[in-house]
């Protein structure tokens, strides 16, 4: 069954996504991002070229041939993913294909509306019995 991790209190969801993908990639886990739209995909793509400053995260969009072998893939067109180990969802609602993945990461910002929607997603997973963990980024030094 899919395991779900919530990272709440993020001051910058895309930067948090980059940090988490870098950590997963260093552990040998392929990362699939699901974004709500083209502009978010391209903003994440740009940030992955710049962050972290002392490393490189090999990545691409899901519609290119290299997606089959790339450790990090960004998708906003739906459900086309070359791997199902880790999904980092940047949506405000629960995506309907999350259960195909071994692990899902949900990132929730400090924005009031995003927090409300994050609580709804948390309740969705919890009510269905998914194994869940919560990490409050507002209580850590590396926000």
Taken in order of first residue, the domains within the chain and their CATH numbers are 3-139 (3.40.50.10110)
The string of pLDDT tens digits covering residues 55-111 is 788 999 888 888 889 999 999 877 778 778 999 999 999 999 999 999 999 999 999
The string of pLDDT tens digits covering residues 1-27 is 999 999 999 999 999 999 999 999 999
- Please state the separation of Cα 6 from the chain's center in Å: 10
And the tokens for 31? 């990362």
Helix H or strand E segment including 38 = helix 38-50
List the 59-61 sheet strands across, edge first. Answer: 59-61, 72-75, 31-34, 86-89, 103-109, 3-10, 131-136
């Amino acid at each position: 069954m899919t395991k779900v991790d919530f990272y709440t209190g993020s001051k910058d969801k895309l930067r948090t996504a980059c940090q988490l993908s870098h950590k997963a990639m260093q552990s040998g886990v392929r990362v699939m991002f699901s974004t709500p739209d083209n502009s978010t995909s391209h903003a994440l793509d740009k940030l992955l070229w710049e962050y972290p400053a002392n490393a490189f995260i090999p990545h691409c969009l899901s519609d290119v041939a290299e997606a089959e072998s790339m450790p990090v893939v960004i998708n906003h067109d739906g459900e086309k993913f070359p791997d199902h180990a880790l999904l980092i969802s940047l949506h405000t609602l629960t995506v309907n294909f999350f259960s195909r993945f071994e692990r899902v990461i949900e990132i929730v910002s400090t924005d009031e509306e995003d927090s409300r929607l994050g609580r709804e997603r948390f309740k969705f997973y919890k009510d269905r019995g998914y194994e869940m963990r919560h990490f409050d980024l507002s209580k850590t030094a590396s926000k």
